[in-house]
Amino acid sequence: MPLQHKRRLFRLLTYPEPYRARLFRDIIRRLRLGNYLQRLEIDAVERPWYGWCVYHAAIQAQALGHTAITVVEMGVAGGNGLLCLCDHADEVKRLTGVDIKVYGFDTGRGLPPTDDPRDLLYCWPARSFEMNIDRLRERMRSRTTLMLGDVRETVAGFQPPKTAPLGAVFFDLDLYTSTIAALGILDVSERLPRMWCYFDDIIGFPENLYCERNGERAAINEYNALRCNHAILSPAHCFADKPIPRYWHHQIFIDHRFEHPAYNRCLSKELHQLPLTDT
Asked if 171 and 225 sit in the same domain, the reply is yes
Domain count, the chain: 2
Q: Is residue 237 in some structural domain? A: yes
Asked if 84 and 194 sit in the same domain, the reply is yes
The pLDDT score that the predictor gives to residue 21 is: 67
> Which residues are paired to 71 by β-bridges?
102, 168
Q: Is residue 28 in some structural domain? A: yes
Asked if 12 and 99 sit in the same domain, the reply is no
Closest CA to 233 of 258, 262, 266: 258
Long-range contacts of 235-241 (CB under 8 A, 24+ apart): 236/196
The pLDDT score that the predictor gives to residue 8 is: 62
The pLDDT score that the predictor gives to residue 204 is: 87
Closest CA to 147 of 135, 159, 129, 165: 159
Calpha distance 108→272 (Å, rounded)? 49
Q: Is residue 265 in some structural domain? A: no
Q: Would you write out the chain's pLDDT as a tens digit for each of its 279 residues?
A: 666 666 666 665 656 565 666 676 778 777 778 899 999 988 899 999 999 999 999 999 999 999 999 999 999 999 999 999 999 999 999 999 999 999 999 999 999 999 999 999 999 999 999 999 999 999 987 889 999 999 999 999 999 999 999 999 999 999 999 999 999 999 999 999 999 999 999 998 888 999 999 999 999 999 999 998 899 999 999 998 887 788 999 999 999 999 999 999 999 888 888 998 887
Asked if 29 and 123 sit in the same domain, the reply is no
Q: Is residue 268 in some structural domain? A: no
Q: Is residue 81 in some structural domain? A: yes
Contact 61, 98 (CB under 8 A): yes
Q: Is residue 41 in some structural domain? A: no
Q: Is residue 59 in some structural domain? A: yes
* Phi and psi torsions of 44, nearest 5°: -90, 45
Asked if 146 and 24 sit in the same domain, the reply is no
Q: Is residue 186 in some structural domain? A: yes
Angle between helical axes of 80-96 and 48-63 (0-180°, round to 10): 40
Calpha distance 117→3 (Å, rounded)? 25
The pLDDT score that the predictor gives to residue 28 is: 74
Q: How far is CA 213 from the centre of its chain?
A: 21
The pLDDT score that the predictor gives to residue 140 is: 87
Could you tell me which residues come within 8 angstroms of residue 202 by beta carbon, excluding any fewer than 6 positions away? 210, 215, 216, 217, 220, 250, 251
Asked if 62 and 129 sit in the same domain, the reply is yes
Calpha distance 139→208 (Å, rounded)? 31
The pLDDT score that the predictor gives to residue 10 is: 62
Could you tell me the residue range of the domain that residue 14 belongs to?
Answer: 1-33
Asked if 157 and 229 sit in the same domain, the reply is yes
Calpha distance 86→140 (Å, rounded)? 8
Q: Measured between alpha carbons, how far apart are the two ends of the chain, in Å?
A: 62
Asked if 114 and 248 sit in the same domain, the reply is yes
| Report field, pTM of the whole predicted structure over 0.85 | yes
Asked if 25 and 158 sit in the same domain, the reply is no
The pLDDT score that the predictor gives to residue 20 is: 61
Asked if 131 and 212 sit in the same domain, the reply is yes
Asked if 50 and 29 sit in the same domain, the reply is no
We report the CATH number of the domain holding residue 216 as 3.40.50.150
Asked if 27 and 55 sit in the same domain, the reply is no
